[in-house]
Amino acid sequence: MTPPLPRHSRITGTGSFLPPNRVSNAQLAASLGADGIETSDAWIVERTGIRFRHFAEATVTCSDLGVEAARRALAAADCDPQAIDLIIVATSTPDMVFPSAACMVQEKLGVHGCAAFDVQAVCSGFVYALSVADSMIKTGLASKALVIGSEVFSRILDFKDRTTCVLFGDGAGAVVLEASDTPGILATELHADGRHVGILCVPGTVSGGKVLGDPLLKMDGPAVFKLAVSVLDSVARSVLAKADRSEADVDWLIPHQANIRIMQSTAKKLKLAPEKLIATVDRHGNTSAASIPLALDEAVREGRIKRGDTVMLEGVGGGFTWGAALFDL
Ligand code: ACO
């Protein structure tokens, strides 16, 4: 008997959405200054590359942003929402403790019955979610997946802590991932090291009708910086080896958009030309699990990333978590 042909998964559409309120460094510095917090456009640009971020209105939730990105990805893929049989939302800022933001996106799309769940791996969330969807498609558990990264990080920022509140923004990105006869996703790799829980966390939790502990983001920036630079290099090399490709095969690198210095150092270590690095951190800030699909969608819509190009995604974030995905678009 002829063995069945291997089943592949391929990205067929991308989409993204940013809340309209765009805040410049100067605007943020002025509003923080009113509370006695000193920062400046010059410090933020020099240390991070960030110039703007978007903040959602207080009533706008993770699933509100996520569903807008999903609608755009579905339209780009020319995919009927009713055909979707899996929805995964990567987020650390879901609408509520439960149900998942994915169930809310499903309801807002008006598609009922398919599997829907959230993945929580902080800024590595989209790479984790894409890897899970890829595995589910390859094993026949799903055929058409919506993979979304959506965050309202403004809700968990401490606007009295200048070392963190200037870094993050809100937004969402999404892809449609479909079963295919030809390879799209070539390899993925995921890692975590729980010894580093304390360097990047929101330590509070809900208990007995109250928030116990601090519900705002804490980060040891220099410690995260050092770890990020080292794991992004090693995971890039191992995902390339898994896919039997080399650095020279990479047309585009989309690392998690946290800090331009980390991103440029990653591209340099991989000997990639600077123009192969997709960077949106200057205009979006760090949107955690949304940063990679937002950057991917922007580059696809600008016509920079084209069908057939080989793209590497790299996530890194709280946990400590990290991972990479290599695909042909
Ligand atoms: N404005 C002005 N000065 C500031 C600000 C600010 N917003 N923030 C810090 N400073 C000061 C500090 O107080 C310090 O002053 P001192 O020298 O008098 O003590 C000085 O600037 C230098 O501070 P550092 O923390 O050493 O600055 P660094 O160059 O390390 O940059 C940063 C900090 C941007 C946070 C960097 O460490 C970084 O990007 N870390 C990695 C973040 C990251 O990659 N996160 C990814 C995952 S995110 C997630 O998973 C949610």
- Tens of pLDDT, residue by residue over 93-135, are 999 999 999 999 999 999 999 999 999 999 999 999 999 999 9
Q: Are 13 and 84 in contact (CB under 8 A)?
A: no
Residue 84 has pLDDT above 90, yes or no: yes
Residue of 152, 155, 163 with the most ligand 1 atoms within 8 Å of its CB, for mutation: 163
**What is the number of the ligand 1 atom nearest to the C-alpha of 321?**
50
Q: Judge if the beta carbon of residue 164 lies within 6 A of ligand 1.
A: no
Catalytic residue among 8, 25, 103, 256: 256
Give me the residues paired with residue 252 across strands: 311
pTM for this predicted structure: 0.96
Q: Judge if the beta carbon of residue 222 lies within 6 A of ligand 1.
A: yes
Residue of the nearest CA to atom 8 in ligand 1? 163
Mean pLDDT of the chain: 96
Q: Are 257 and 280 in contact (CB under 8 A)?
A: yes
Residue of 27, 38, 47, 202 with the most ligand 1 atoms within 8 Å of its CB, for mutation: 47
Query: How many angstroms is it from 226 CA to the middle of ligand 1?
Result: 12
Query: How many angstroms is it from 256 CA to the middle of ligand 1?
Result: 17
**For residues 146 and 227, what is the distance between their CA atoms, to the nearest angstrom?**
31
Residue 6's pLDDT band, with cuts at 50, 70 and 90, is confident
Q: What is the pLDDT of residue 2?
A: 67
Residue 217's pLDDT band, with cuts at 50, 70 and 90, is very high
Catalytic residue among 123, 165, 259, 284: 123
Say whether 8 is catalytic.
no
**What is the number of the ligand 1 atom nearest to the C-alpha of 217?**
51
Q: Which residues of 275-300 are buried (b: 16+ CB within 10 A; e: fewer)?
A: ebbbbbbebbbbbbbbbbbbbbbbbb
φ, ψ of residue 200 in degrees (nearest 5): -155, 105
Q: What is the pLDDT of residue 79?
A: 98
Say whether 259 is catalytic.
no
Say whether 196 is catalytic.
no
Q: Judge if the beta carbon of residue 285 lies within 6 A of ligand 1.
A: no
Question: In this predicted model, which residue has the larger pLDDT, 35 or 125?
Answer: 125
pLDDT, tens digit (0-9, with 9 covering 90-100), for 135-190: 999 999 999 999 999 999 999 999 999 999 999 999 999 999 999 999 999 999 99
Q: Judge if the beta carbon of residue 165 lies within 6 A of ligand 1.
A: no
Q: What is the pLDDT of residue 3?
A: 63
Q: Judge if the beta carbon of residue 278 lies within 6 A of ligand 1.
A: no
Query: In percent, how much of the chain has pLDDT > 70?
Result: 98
Q: Judge if the beta carbon of residue 33 lies within 6 A of ligand 1.
A: no
Residue of the nearest CA to atom 20 in ligand 1? 163
Distances in whole angstroms, Cα of residue 104 to Cα of each of 67, 94, 96, 178: 9, 10, 10, 22
Residue 259's pLDDT band, with cuts at 50, 70 and 90, is very high
